[in-house]
Structure 1
Amino acid sequence: GECDVAPYPNPADLATIKANKDVTLLDQAGLNIGYMSYNTTIPPLDKAEVRHALNQAIDREALIKSLFQDAGATPAQNLIPPTMWSWDKDVKF
């Protein structure tokens, strides 16, 4: 009958938490977004064509799956998360 709270459980633990019939798991989309960036002051990242090629080579779905496992993360559509009031699905980056 006690209340225990874990605001950010380890993604690797979510399957175990969900499988426990004595635990009620509440979740919602976070108010956050992650970014990757390049240091464009060093070669070869100072060349736009190299950065473009790297951007095309990144498997965003695989990267998200690897980092967040089953935590429900989704690829960003623009620079703010969809949980913010000003988010607009038509704005692309």
Structure 2
Amino acid sequence: MVHAVVSRGGRTDLAGPVLAQVRAPTLQIVGARDPVVLELNERSCHALRCEQRLDVVAGATHLFEEPGTLEEVARLAGDWFETHLQGGRQQAR
């Protein structure tokens, strides 16, 4: 079972109609200077029926090579997983 998803600069739109079947909380992270993928991920937001969020990293392009941008991605992803996986850890105890 998938408990949380993070997509970094991914093409979630390629999942097409299956996006509506996703149940795991989903975070999409896109660079502000990647307008094509940003628009595609915004469309995916409308198709997802689960808890979800789209975070845009200022100054980042597709590969997040700009100083500090990959660190921001790591922070966002870590926070997302900490929030959504914490309940699973507590249940496993």
If you compute each CA radius of gyration, which structure gives the higher value, 1 or 2? 1
Q: TM-score range by the shorter chain?
A: under 0.3
When the two structures are superposed, what TM-score results if normalisation uses the length of structure 1? 0.28
TM-score, structure 2 as length reference: 0.28
Q: Which has the higher strand share?
A: 2
